Amino acid sequence: MDLEQQLRAALAPTTPGPQVRAAVKLRLAEKSHRGSVNRWVLVGAVLALGAAAAMLAMRLLEPAATTVIAESVHVLDVPPGDAPDAPVSVDTTSTETTSATQDSEAPPVGPAVQPFTVNVPPLKSDVDDPSRKAALETVYTTLVDGLRDVPGLTLVDATATADYRLTLEGNAAPASATAKDDFWVNMAAEQIGPAGRVLRGYHTGATGEVAPACASPSSMDTLSYPTCADPIGVARRLLVTLRKSVFPVDPQLQRDLRARLFDQTLEPGERRQALADLGSLGRGSAAMGAFPAGLRDPAVVRAAIQLASVAPDPATRAQVWYTLRGSGDPTLLRPLVAALRTDADQDTRVQALATLVADFATDPQARSALETAGVGDPDPMVRALAQRALGAESVWTDYVLASLKDTGQSPTDRIKAFFYAYGLPTTRMYAVYSADGRILRALDDAGMRALAEVLPRAAADSKAYASASFTLVSELSYMKHPAITDMLLDSLDASEPWLDRSFAVESLRRRTDDPRVREALAKIARDDADPQVRALAVKPLGAEEKTVDVSALPPRLGVMTDYVKAAPGVPTELVGKLAVTRMSTGSPADHAGMKEADILLEINGTPITSGPQLIEVLDGLSKDVDVGVLVSRNGQTLRLTARF
């Protein structure tokens, strides 16, 4: 068959599902009530970066820590990533490609709808412009209306105790602004625990247009983000995020996503998205470190393995191995070993390796594969990671730093291992941002200079790296180091601006002890074409805006913790204590011999009662002095010694 015939066959029309016709009918019905239909464009939700300084400090202190302490199911005797209700019965023989199809015919499974309550305080906004104000109010009312349709959700007022509090803050660009986005909404979704304590916060946002050339439909596909930036589209975008990632798992949503993952007639890319969505389901409500509820099913694991076996796109294969990390499902061992040994794609091998290490570190077959990769993999980064997995941490750190300083490589190649070590998604854009401060701490002066030198060039070379670079810069900008100041100053004069000018000016305002910065800001305040940037340059520094002196950081254990909940088999005296859910390799806790699922009882004789109190106790400790740590492990009390 020649190419043109093959193209005709490949492009044979395919029909959309009946939901498209249904949605059109609804939109037409709505249109008859509302008047003209406008065209609309979707805007992505914005990750909140406002707390960058605090996050940086936390990352430098607590490797891999990204969030506040969360309430959890009990963790006694349960390894992290294997929550008590996770499936344990797995058919190790059923990795053949047909199994996923068979599973799709099985009756839908999943939890019952979990009731939960939500309080939405009034919209916070001091926007005066009538059209923007009205748009923001529409976002608010549409979101609240949409919440009423979420299964299990009950809206409660502020006087009642709610499981979640959603705070919306509306902002507007000046009416005269030339930018297309007229307003934006920041949303904080806080999970509330006992005594009104905030267990965790999820921040997101979306921008919108007052008069977009489109309008959102009245019905909504709960699986997809709307593609319009009208106020209704903005509200629904927030709602989809809440349903997919924040609220407890919605069984119907889970069934729909499973059906997509199991459907082998779909494009691998669509099945990959379904897998990613299943992985994010209920993540905002789950215990930190717990394997995602939507993936806790052998049939899902088998379907994902099958997807990896047929996906021509290496990004899909890599994402499968990444997403299944923490499942511990024994059917994964063989395909992971095979991927590490034979996959032609470096990133896929990296992800397979990381999942092997996370889930099968002690398995002889896995260790044999790691030993082979440590010496024989064609890629030096894979070799370094494999050696690290076998205990040679310094080999990996040395490789990251050497790559950063290797001016013979391209900027993206130089920074690739650093991004990986720091936990930033790069070219493939899967993974969750999970900054690991250890690699920042390992940077010597030359390393920091190399990073500051290569970062702008990597950002300019690759769109994917630009995104990761911006995330990193938003945190680096709070670090006190002359190389960072140089990088920010240089960005002002760059012929190809890689950093938002306002952001650079805001960051430089924290560095006015440097005369070059004062001079640059004075020039901007006087000459810059943008009045907002001119105003920023002279804006007084807020008390919360300060840089972080890495050398002055207080001691931290290097663990993440959850509260122990009452459950059968859990001694009453341990309920409410803090249990370790995640621990960084090489951290003081690691050196002290702590293990994940240990329950923290005392530090230097002080009983540990809560997360904030733990931080207070640690703040009061000195470095380079032995510290006694009392933990409960499997019903036994152990006394350990930590050194910071």
Partner 1 sequence: MSLTDPTLAAHRCEDSLARAQRGERAGFDELMCEHEARVFSIALRFTGRRADAEELTQDVFVQLHGALGRISGAGHLRRWLLRTVTHRCLNRLRDQRRRPQLVPIESLPTTDEPVAPESGTDPLAGPRLRRLLLELAPEARVVLLLRYQEDLDPSDIAATLDMSVNTVKSHLRRSLEWLRAQYTGDAHGS
Site for partner 1 in 158-187 (CB under 8 A): 180-181
Which residue's structure tokens are 């309550």? 117
User: Of the candidates 158, 175, 177, 432, which one interacts with partner 1 according to CB under 8 A?
Assistant: 432
Shortest distance in whole angstroms from residue 502 CB to partner 1 = 13
Q: Answer whether 589's CB lies under 8 Å from 580's CB.
A: yes
Q: What one-character-per-residue DSSP string does 330-364 give?
A: GGGHHHHHHHHHH-S-HHHHHHHHHHHHHHHTT-H
User: Of the candidates 11, 112, 529, 543, which one interacts with partner 1 according to CB under 8 A?
Assistant: 11
Look at residues 476, 525, 480, 474 and name the one whose alpha carbon lies nearest to residue 503.
474
User: Of the candidates 383, 428, 449, 481, which one interacts with partner 1 according to CB under 8 A?
Assistant: 428
User: Of the candidates 68, 109, 223, 358, which one interacts with partner 1 according to CB under 8 A?
Assistant: 223
Q: Answer whether 133's CB lies under 8 Å from 127's CB.
A: yes
Which residues within the stretch 268-297 sit at the binding site for partner 1 (CB under 8 A)? 268-270, 272-273, 276-277, 279-280
Residue 43 binds partner 1 (CB under 8 A): yes
Helices (H), 171-281: 231-241, 251-262, 268-280
Residue 266 binds partner 1 (CB under 8 A): yes
- Half-sphere exposure at residue 463, Cβ-oriented, CA atoms within 13 angstroms: 2
Residue 431 binds partner 1 (CB under 8 A): yes
User: Of the candidates 34, 47, 50, 512, which one interacts with partner 1 according to CB under 8 A?
Assistant: 47
Neighbours of 213 (CB within 10 A): 13
Residue 530 binds partner 1 (CB under 8 A): no
Residue number with CB closer to partner 1 (238 or 483): 238
Residue 313 binds partner 1 (CB under 8 A): yes
**CA–CA dist 96, 92 (Å, integer):** 10
Residue 224 binds partner 1 (CB under 8 A): yes
Which residues within the stretch 328-367 sit at the binding site for partner 1 (CB under 8 A)? 344-345
Structure tokens at 355: 């999942």
Shortest distance in whole angstroms from residue 431 CB to partner 1 = 7
HEC per residue, 298-327: HHHHHHHHHHHHHCCCHHHHHHHHHHCCCC
Shortest distance in whole angstroms from residue 269 CB to partner 1 = 4
90 CB contacts (<8 Å, ≥6 apart)?
298, 301, 329, 330, 331
Site string for partner 1, 240-259 (x = CB under 8 A): -x--xx--------------
Residue 436 binds partner 1 (CB under 8 A): no
Shortest distance in whole angstroms from residue 477 CB to partner 1 = 17
Structure tokens at 605: 């004789």
Which residues within the stretch 448-467 sit at the binding site for partner 1 (CB under 8 A)? 467
Which residues within the stretch 12-31 sit at the binding site for partner 1 (CB under 8 A)? 12-17, 19-21, 23-25, 27-28, 31
Mark the segment that binds partner 1 (CB under 8 A) among 221-229, 328-336, 363-371, 408-416.
Answer: 221-229
Residue 326 binds partner 1 (CB under 8 A): no
Residue number with CB closer to partner 1 (72 or 207): 207
243 CB contacts (<8 Å, ≥6 apart)?
150, 222, 250, 253
Mark the segment that binds partner 1 (CB under 8 A) among 9-17, 160-168, 393-401, 601-609.
Answer: 9-17
Three-state secondary structure call for residue 631: strand
User: Of the candidates 92, 161, 227, 365, which one interacts with partner 1 according to CB under 8 A?
Assistant: 227
Number of residues engaging partner 1 in binding (CB under 8 A) = 74
Q: Report CA-CA distances (Å) from 309 to 158, 278, 545, 603.
A: 51, 19, 49, 49
Q: Report CA-CA distances (Å) from 91 to 42, 301, 304, 491.
A: 43, 11, 15, 56
Residue number with CB closer to partner 1 (323 or 587): 323
